[in-house]
């Protein structure tokens, strides 16, 4: 049973997760005042990610006393020009009423490393997998902005277990049904098969509640 309210919290999130967050809002789990979304795929542009993140945190502060940031820590923001500038540091600078979900990236928010290892063993016999969320399908041209086929060929084929989409909302099956050609073209561009794997949002909910409790204590 949910014992934590998000009514005094505004959320700032990577747009890649808007499918899951909007689902949780519709089902009543998230009674947040507002969800602000950054452009999906900004891990490719750390300066723009930081600019949008700080801007939207400040907007969120205008409507709620607490702000919860939905970004990973280890992989979502890597500043090559200033390696000591981390997501943790950016969040700390925003003050004590701002916190971040405890996860390394969006895939980790939906399935733990142990769960992903189990899924990879089950589906891909333990071979290396390229993990995605439904947002990586919907927002493909944001997430892989600037990638050409050459860059794709350098990165994806080494994942001999293919690409697995951690799908808790049935998005991929519907996408395949409605846009089969686009899905096949995406797989062809990556050079590896893409398949959805059904999961629940239990881990995501637990992480959100943990972060909310931290903010409200």
Taking only the tens place, the pLDDT of each residue in 28-55 is 999 998 999 999 989 888 889 999 999 9
pLDDT in tens, 178-214: 999 999 999 999 999 999 999 999 999 999 999 999 9
Reply yes or no on whether the pLDDT at 112 is more than 80.
yes
Q: Please check whether residues 83 and 122 belong to one and the same domain.
A: no
Cβ neighbourhood burial of 87 (10 Å; 0-12, 13-18, 19+): buried
The total of other beta-carbon atoms located within 10 Å of residue 134's CB is: 25
Question: Does 17 map to a domain?
Answer: yes
Question: Does 140 map to a domain?
Answer: yes
Q: Please check whether residues 28 and 89 belong to one and the same domain.
A: yes
Q: What is the pLDDT of residue 95?
A: 95
pLDDT-based confidence at 17, cuts 50/70/90? Answer: very high
- Domain count across the chain: 2
pLDDT-based confidence at 114, cuts 50/70/90? Answer: very high
Q: Please check whether residues 85 and 159 belong to one and the same domain.
A: no
Q: Please check whether residues 95 and 153 belong to one and the same domain.
A: no
Q: Please check whether residues 67 and 144 belong to one and the same domain.
A: no
Question: Does 126 map to a domain?
Answer: yes
Q: What is the pLDDT of residue 45?
A: 87
Bridge partners of 69? 12, 100
At 30, is the secondary structure helix, strand, or coil?
coil
Q: What is the pLDDT of residue 1?
A: 43
Do 208 and 216 contact (CB within 8 A), yes or no? Answer: no
Q: What is the DSSP letter of 6?
A: -
Q: What share of the chain is helix, strand, coil (3-state, %, to 5)?
A: 50, 15, 35
Question: Does 4 map to a domain?
Answer: no
Q: Please check whether residues 95 and 29 belong to one and the same domain.
A: yes
Q: Please check whether residues 96 and 159 belong to one and the same domain.
A: no
Query: In terms of DSSP H, where are the helices of 70-165?
Result: 87-93, 106-110, 113-124, 134-138, 140-143, 149-155
Q: Please check whether residues 93 and 173 belong to one and the same domain.
A: no
Q: Please check whether residues 206 and 194 belong to one and the same domain.
A: no
Q: What is the pLDDT of residue 2?
A: 60
Show the domain range for 103: 9-107+201-216
Q: How much is the pTM?
A: 0.93
Q: Please check whether residues 158 and 122 belong to one and the same domain.
A: yes
Q: Please check whether residues 103 and 205 belong to one and the same domain.
A: yes
Query: How far, in Å, CA of 141 to CA of 56, rounded?
Result: 22
Question: Does 2 map to a domain?
Answer: no
Mean of pLDDT values over 152-179:
97
Question: Does 95 map to a domain?
Answer: yes
HSE, side-chain direction, 13 A CA sphere, residue 141: 2
Q: Please check whether residues 92 and 26 belong to one and the same domain.
A: yes
pLDDT in tens, 57-103: 999 999 999 999 999 987 888 887 888 889 999 999 999 999 999 99
Structure-derived torsion over alpha carbons of residues 121, 17, 27, 10, reported in degrees to the nearest 10? 130
Mean of pLDDT values over 119-146:
96
Question: Does 1 map to a domain?
Answer: no
């Amino acid at each position: 049973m949910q014992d934590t309210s998000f009514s005094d919290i505004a959320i700032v999130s990577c747009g890649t997760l808007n499918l899951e967050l909007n689902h949780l809002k519709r089902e009543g789990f998230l009674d947040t005042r507002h969800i602000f979304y950054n452009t999906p795929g900004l891990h490719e542009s750390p300066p723009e990610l930081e600019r949008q993140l700080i801007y939207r945190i400040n907007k969120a502060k205008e409507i709620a006393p607490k702000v919860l940031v939905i970004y990973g820590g280890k992989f979502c923001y890597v500043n090559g020009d200033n390696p000591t500038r981390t997501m943790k540091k950016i969040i700390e600078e925003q003050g004590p009423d701002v916190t971040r979900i405890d996860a390394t990236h969006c895939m980790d928010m939906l399935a733990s490393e142990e769960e992903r290892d189990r899924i990879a063993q089950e589906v891909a016999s333990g071979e290396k997998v390229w993990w995605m969320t439904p947002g990586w399908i919907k927002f493909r041209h944001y997430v892989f902005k600037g990638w050409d086929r050459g860059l794709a060929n350098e990165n994806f084929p080494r994942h001999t277990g293919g690409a697995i989409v951690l799908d808790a909302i049935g998005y991929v099956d519907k996408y395949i049904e409605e846009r089969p050609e686009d899905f096949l073209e995406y797989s062809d561009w990556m050079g590896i098969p893409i398949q959805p794997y059904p999961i629940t949002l239990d881990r995501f909910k637990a992480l959100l509640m943990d972060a909310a409790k931290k903010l409200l204590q």
